[in-house]
Amino acid sequence: MATKLEYEGQGKGMQGFKYLPAWEELCQIMRDISPRTYEALRNLKYIPMPSARSLRMKHAREPKFPLGISEETFNLVAEQLKDLDYSGHVALSCDDTKLLPSYRLYWDDKEQTYMLIGGDQGPLRVANAEEVDQALKDASSSKATKVRVEYTMSHLQENADHSFQQVWLWCLNLPSPISDKLGVETLFSLLQTILDGLIDKGIHVVSYRLNALFNKSSSSCASQCHTPYDRLHPTS
């Protein structure tokens, strides 16, 4: 309230007003329960409250998938396949998309902290916006020039009339920021981590496709990607 009065005393509008993350979350809950009541409270102007448009924009900027490669990602894949009652084979693919390099700060409700994304070192925790420069310096992070999206696809599904229709199951959507400096060995280590995570969840990956140039170096790395049989029958 004091900050709002300072804005009004300086003749400023409420555009760009910074709300506390916890207050924004509470406002979002109130608006979800009753949009009409929320707008009525907001129009009283006793307490500064974000507009519905601001809340929608904030929600749109939040990541729709877990950041990075984690156990949560593979659990989501397994849960989706279970919900679809699908236990068949899946194919793993990836696609690299060029980015306009930039950093962005957002509030993570789950972790209750600010996250800085857009760097090739993955999301960085920062206590507040003033510590962004120091966090980048400590992590030696540089702006990511590409995003690598890994996804799984299903096999074929039989319809009631016994015809077959191809069905794509986008079960795994794993965006990973990368830069042009990463070598083949580093990229294949990311792939190996993803394969291991899927296999550990009992997901049968039978093929994978890389969106990259195939050369002698990548061929050598590909031969090191162990199959489920290799994991159960390690060589001495």
Residue range 142-196, pLDDT digits in tens: 777 777 777 777 655 555 444 444 444 444 555 666 777 767 777 777 788 888 8
pTM higher than the cut 0.75:
no
Assigned CATH class of 65-99+145-228: alpha beta
Query: For the chain, what are the domain ranges?
Result: 2-61, 65-99+145-228, 100-144
- Quick: pLDDT tens for 18-45: 778 788 889 989 999 999 999 998 888 7
Closest C-alpha among 232, 233, 172, 227 to residue 204 = 227
Q: Which of 138, 136, 150 is nearest to 101 (CA)?
A: 136
114: phi then psi, degrees, rounded to nearest 5: -80, 145
Closest C-alpha among 114, 168, 176, 166 to residue 144: 176
